[in-house]
Amino acid sequence: MKDSTLTKHVSLAVMMMMQFLLLAVWWVPLAAYLTNRGVDGVMKALVLSSMAIGSMASPIIGAFADRYLSAQKILAVSNLLTALFLLVTGLSDDFLWVFISIFAAMLCYMPTWSLTSAIAMTHAKPELFPRIRMFGTVGWVASGLFSLVAVRFFKVDMFDGSNIPLFCGSGLALVAALLNLTLPDTPPNKSGEKLSVRKLLGIDAFTMLRDRNYRMFIICSSAAMLAFALYYSFGSEFLRDRQFKYITLTMNWGQAVELVFLFFASTIIMRTGLKKALTIGLIALIARYMSFYLGGVFDAGVLYIVGIMFHGLIFGLFFAGGQVYTDSIAPKTLRAQAQGMLSFLIWGVALLLGNFICGQLIDFNKTVDASGVATYDWNTVFGITTVFSVAVAILFCLFFKQEKGTKS
């Protein structure tokens, strides 16, 4: 019995690792790649919003997993299609095809975040989820090795900012699809139900928003995502402007710290209580942008690394903790849809708005000289984001109440 449980947990860990490895290897340097191709302004923000728009398909996929088809089979098909579209992206010289295929890839890929969460929480205790999710971070960190191998051993002049990461992502997605077929079966909870538009769109999960506390959590999470998007979507552009050569590897310092906090997240949540754990995550968001701001003011590059490393606290406690919170209050028959709804609202709607707002903020603080060289006022950008993050943390502390039955 113990061996069976261990085997199951190992398969879930491998699932998480592959799912985030296949994304990180090409998504992290995407902004730099677009810049190198001359894509800027609204068009760049739109392409980077493919993640957010892809997340909006999550409730639909979650509804299928809850009612019509085993989740691991849907996951395998999603990854197979992702592999195909990333291959098309890497081979395309026409930006229109790059634009279309990236959107198609993310429409297939982003629902897998809620699927993998639902699968993991079905076959392991919810409080163990952060430790299983930790292996997704292992995959994300490992993505940095691709750039080292390409530059050092294959003598590639440029990895980050080229189309090579897209081919790497395609190959990894294919491997992930094959491994998904070996996962423990996660059948639908209400198989055989009559198909309806309401059920197909996963609308039932949105009834959770009637709960005042959960509604406040969603509002604060959405606001936090507006600030989070600056680093998440435009971080590679910032590091490129600061002349960092290994962009993916540099940003992976944040995921390295995330490994530690995801491992201890369950313990932190149980000992401090949900509200305090989520609050610590928001304080880390403030500390990140304050570090970036001070790094620019004092011309101290080490503070940029410090800011990157706060990613572990932000994601490990606030965003992963939010998934645990959502699962804990979701009806059993809506668990996959609930994760899909969370992904739709936070990684979909909020990230989409965040990308455009942060993109406009960056453009507003950019000047281009007569020779076409752009200069960014990052200090103003990070100063504004720091103040906004403080406002979000205050809002959360004042209006989010500790759930009954959890430690205060």
How far apart, in Å, are the Cα atoms of 380 and each of 42, 293, 294, 352, 376? 20, 8, 11, 22, 9
pLDDT reading at 304 higher than 70 = yes
- For 383, half-sphere exposure in the C-beta direction (CA atoms, 13 angstrom radius) is 8
Please tell me which residue, 82 or 340, carries the higher pLDDT value. 82
pLDDT of residue 371: 82
pLDDT of residue 395: 96
Condensed to tens digits (0 to 9), the pLDDT of residues 88-140 reads 998 988 888 888 999 999 999 999 988 998 899 888 876 677 788 889 888 88
pLDDT of residue 404: 58
How high does pLDDT run on average in the chain? 86
pLDDT of residue 198: 67
pLDDT of residue 108: 94
Residue type, 280: I
User: Under CATH, which number does the domain 2-180+200-399 receive?
Assistant: 1.20.1250.20
pLDDT of residue 408: 39
Question: With 0-12 CB in 10 A as exposed, 13-18 as middle and 19+ as buried, what is 182?
Answer: exposed
Residue 235 structure tokens: 């971080």
Taking the model in full, what pTM does it have? 0.76
pLDDT of residue 156: 72
Question: With 0-12 CB in 10 A as exposed, 13-18 as middle and 19+ as buried, what is 1?
Answer: exposed
